[in-house]
Amino acid sequence: MANLDLTTNSYHSLNSLDMSIRAFVEFAHVLSEDEHFAPLLLVLADRIESDFTWMKNDTMRLWGPVKEDAERAE
C-alpha cells in the first residue's frame, strides 16, 4: 500500500509540474518576437517540455509493477 500511496503522490506532483510547464510554454509562444529574450524563452520552453515528456513517460513505465501489485492485492 505504501508504494501505491507514493505512486499516487508522485502522479499528482507530475501533473502539477506538467501544468506549470504548459503555462511556461504558452507564455513563451505568445511573446512578441520583438521581445529581447523571446527566442531564448521559446527554445527553453520547448526543451523543458520535451525533457519533461520523456521523464514522465519513463516514470509511468516504472509504475507498471506497482499498479500490477495493487491489482493483485484487491
Q: Is 70 exposed, middle or buried (0-12, 13-18, 19+ CB in 10 A)?
A: middle
- Taking only the tens of pLDDT, the chain with its 74 residues reads 456 677 788 889 999 999 999 999 999 999 998 899 999 999 999 999 999 999 999 988 888 776 555 555 55
Indicate the pTM of the whole model.
0.73
Q: Measured between alpha carbons, how far is 47 from 45 in angstroms, rounded to an integer?
A: 5
Instruction: Specify the pLDDT at position 1.
Output: 45
